[in-house]
Amino acid sequence: MKKSILYLSLIGTGLSVTAFAQEKPVNPPALTEVWKPVPKLITPGASASAAPSDAIILFDGKDAAAFIGENGQPAKWTVSNGNLTVQKGAGTITTKEAFGDCQLHIEWKSPEVVKGEGQGRGNSGIFLMGKYELQVLDSYNNVTYSNGQAGSIYKQLIPLANASRKPGEWQTYDVVFMAPRFNEDGSVKIPATVTVIHNGVLVQNHATIAGATQYIGAPAYEKHADKEPLSLQDHGDAVSYRNIWIRNL
């Protein structure tokens, strides 16, 4: 009786091994290996904030040669101690080069001496394609409307968190921007999207932009070129910038 049970157990085991062997993949792993195109070789920066080898340097602390002022005049912001600082009344400055889809790194700080409150405190802005504003503001213990604080797409997208440092401390934005696409008739085919990391904290997560920034009224799109210059805003406060670089995507 015991021999019969052992024999049946072995038969059962043999059947299981055979069934398992039949479940092995028929196709080789190489069928899902893709070898081309080979990604372009890029040398990363020496630190997380340093520009990689394929970046376009917009400001390296030496001069504002990558920018022009209003009416095509030379940029009149102050360059001192490696910083590019808003000169009140000098106006917005704009890159000479145009950009579309891009990765942007930019560092900024509001004045150490606090003056004003709300939108009147350390205010500037980064206008992607000259139209879509990523707000720069001293939002450290500073109450204002949520879609107007630092890290917001001004008057549109509230940041997921307030990651602001104290006034006078350097802050970092790392941005991935995808430009809008338009149909021939001017209608929006694909709206712009933006991802923003503020001081290492995700504050905009592939968020959809509703249109060009408006101070009054709802945002709206108007057909424009695939690439447009980037602008930094003179809002009357002595906001400083440094280490600005951008990569075309």
Plot region of 210 (φ>0 → left; ψ -120 to 50 → alpha; else → beta): alpha
Report how far residue 20's alpha carbon sits from residue 143's, in angstroms, rounded to the nearest whole number.
65
Q: CATH number of the domain at 56-248, out of 3.40.50.720, 1.20.1600.10, 2.60.120.560, 2.70.98.70?
A: 2.60.120.560
pLDDT of 19 higher than 80:
no
Average pLDDT over every residue of 67-80 = 95
What is the enclosing helix (H) or strand (E) of 244?
strand 240-248
Average pLDDT over every residue of 9-36 = 68
Q: What confidence category does residue 25 fall into, taking pLDDT thresholds of 50, 70 and 90?
A: low
pLDDT, tens digit, for every residue of 134-162? 999 999 999 999 999 999 999 999 999 99
pLDDT of 26 higher than 90:
no
Domain ranges across the chain: 2-32, 56-248
